[in-house]
Structure 1
């Protein structure tokens, strides 16, 4: 009886150990200062091959934190003692606390084999949360702030940074100069625009603000990357003060595993082409210009370009790099060309191949392998080139070779000129005489017409000047503007994405409309509309001007916002135009 009882206990122990699930949630410590991130570690361990995870890990409410990073790893092995399959999933989350005090971190939930498992909640103590100033303060109350909205990007993927200046005194905004963008080994910075925006009177804390610069940041390593401060100077008559902006942390995600063989560091969307830029026929031991052109949008200025692969059929030399790039919405766009000098070493068919090239597309979150590009050429020997030339081409080549190689003072190019015979040309003399005679007759006719015009003016009675109201009406009729021409022109500029000319034309339209009402400034025109039209039209005019400024100086101008702005412009100016 006792043996049976022991046998039953062994069976129960083996069943319990076979299908065991362990789920835990821990923090690296219990007390934190405001500058330290809260690191959470979630461990899910499945002991047994028949355990099926039906849901992912359901995190607790983390609204009191900012998630600044996350990562996970899965390990699978077999326990040699029990011959049991063990699957271990470890996840780490880095949190940035928003406030100080005791914060409760709830339970993590997961469903396995129709059963819900959860961890026990616990508290962490945040002592002093670091208050992030919008900028660095100076004696003149001028603040710089670097704003980056998208702080979670892939490696070598750009993010847009906006540098804004704040000050209680609006005059100080015009004194900020000498902007120095951040420099660091693990980031590449490319400026987008240094054009200052219009001053916004209702900024942070009701302080006037102004956008100073827009630039792109390309982090070239994964992990937590800190973008250094941007510096500038505030000039005055007495001295020059240096101000710096805040620093911004980026969570740079590592690129997915399984990259193709030709992938190096290209992130974006690209195309590769190769072509022969030489006009002459390919000839052995004579140089050719072979161009590899990479076009698209991404980290175009920083990525490693594909090269021409080595081959025993030709020699290749270092290229000359030329670029035509500009800032885009998702990176640097344009094209970069590598001009190689290639010398064929044999006659016949030659295939010039590029290295394999692949890139990672952040939009689709997958790698794109373009493989190799091939340029097929047929190289000729020197004898074949000579046989294919005509007699005239051969004579020209021999003559040019002789003139270039023979150095003699007797043979000069001036001796090859045809000398004109020294004789008098009567045709030229007669032509000049007729031209002078025609000019004299035209002068007499002009003087006669001028005398008649003077007599007519003396006989015409002076016209009455009329009243001031009639004169103003006449001026307004002369200043009448056809707004439909402006609308058509603005539509074409919008479709062609010439946004700079679009906003210049908007300013011209507003100026012409104000001239119709004899108003010089926008403020006077708004007051005029309020008194002669209605208060609602005046408010609509003020809001339209503000909307134009917001779209004009937006870092990224989308086609949808431009369409909506054009519709608003057409609706308003159509109803007030005369």
Structure 2
């Protein structure tokens, strides 16, 4: 019996001890550092991972002396339940590159878990010389570095002074990645160059090769340069920030590769041009700096004209070259021709091979005298970089004939060129000399204070007061005259209803129609009766009820009868005038009684 109890106690103690041990193991905190390798070449990378089995806060990594952090920290968390048991892990990862050879130590990292501070153990790492084939896995930045290349392609590395150079900036992209966007960081200044950007309207990807490998490339920028001095000239690099999507080794639920985005700064690098000076041997005296291949032409709008009329002379250069960077030759004209400053005309466009088009000077020429004037031949010289030789072009002589106009006093002498003075003959259409003794008078300064307007505005209020008082008393007197106001009102009323009849005096039918209508309208407005009640008997009854005198009633009815009789009987102008005056009088009398 005692033996059985003893065995039971031993079993219970063993089970309890095992449970406590298992519980302690499950709640034990681990915080450790893991290295991808403890020995590596200086051209390899080291992955350092700090892992723990409990969640913590305030993680502090070591300084990583002797290494440079190229990626991280990357945080990873894993939690799972297996057979009712929970497993948890959390890690912070770094990718390091060594900065020197030697033996270095990854110092302790710290973290707080459950209010306690935990530290990792220090680990030593040995960095050796570079190895032939680094074994570490490439990061996203590594892939981007190897897959992006910005190249500046220069059409000529040894151009002549003022010869066009085409620079094309191409971005080569590996098929493994994709570019999402870019932005310029530093645009070149092109010092010592005349530059012209050629807009790139569409970025189209094309297939090509870079260092023997297949790549896609896109043209980001085109620029045409004209070197302005000889010697070694440096083209500053173009720098861009490129945003790319780089594939990773992870895949999504459907098996597709997961991409991660990163940005890289790429530069085209500096390019140096060895600019050759133009040769001095065979250089024409009239050379003005034109470099390219050109045509030269001198034309006039007319060859025959009268004095004081104008003609246009055009000196034009066309072709390909530095059209905007040289001076056009000037014509040497006879002094008898008045020449105005030229108008510069430019029609030049810049393409990838350089400038092409034409430039011209348009001269307005006005002859003053009758005669024949030659425009001598003009020469234009340029340097052809393709043949490395100077070329001189000359125009033909042009003769201008002035048919009508005054004759120069020196017409017996041959026409001279340059600035020789000749007698000026006034024709009434020429410019006059500037007056040296103008008749000017001093402007007097007038002040408002003390002027007539000042006193007028000052006394105006005093003058307006008696006028306002007189006007006010006049209005009061008119308002107090009741009888007079009634008479005025009656006369106004009569004029209102009889105005049409007055206009028709002399026209019998129209006058009496208007008179009858005016009388009816008066009664309608005054007595508020309808047109259907306009019978003489009805009107007599209404006016009698209104206490109108019988004489006035008879007069009103008599007028209505005259209007009816006038349609069938002859009436004189005197009779019409009498009826109009009678109607006006009757309306005035009725208005006083109604």
- TM-score normalised by L of structure 2: 0.36
- The structure where helix makes up a greater share of residues is 1
- TM-score normalised by L of structure 1: 0.36
Between structure 1 and structure 2, the one with the greater Rg is: 2
